[in-house]
Amino acid sequence: MTYEEHLDEVTTLIFERFGLSEHAAIQLVMKAQAAGYFSEHDDDPSLCTQLRAEQDAKRVFKEYGKPAPAAPSGGPIKGRQRR
């Protein structure tokens, strides 16, 4: 499969297996792609297999599916002045 087909397959697997919306699955794959996770796949098309897509879906969900840390509470944000 091509690089683009591989990304589509990873996205579909995340959607189907982890209960995310299609939009959320796309955003997750885009986040991993922006972080360079799929760079080797782009350089070496032999990595774009069904088995690898299944492995990538699990890893991308695990590594990039965590919610962003909440902002600390308990006071004004530094750098902002109170009115």
Residue 67 is classified by DSSP as P
Q: Is residue 83 part of a domain?
A: no
CA–CA gap between residue 43 and residue 14 (Å, rounded):
23
Q: Is residue 74 part of a domain?
A: no
Q: What is the number of structural domains in the chain?
A: 1
Domain that residue 47 falls in: 3-64
CA–CA gap between residue 68 and residue 55 (Å, rounded):
23
The residue to which tokens 């799929």 are assigned: 38
Q: What is the pLDDT along the chain (83 residues), one digit of tens a residue?
A: 999 999 999 999 999 999 999 999 999 999 999 999 999 988 898 999 999 999 999 999 999 987 655 555 555 555 555 55
The model's pTM: 0.78
Q: Is residue 75 part of a domain?
A: no
Q: Is residue 77 part of a domain?
A: no
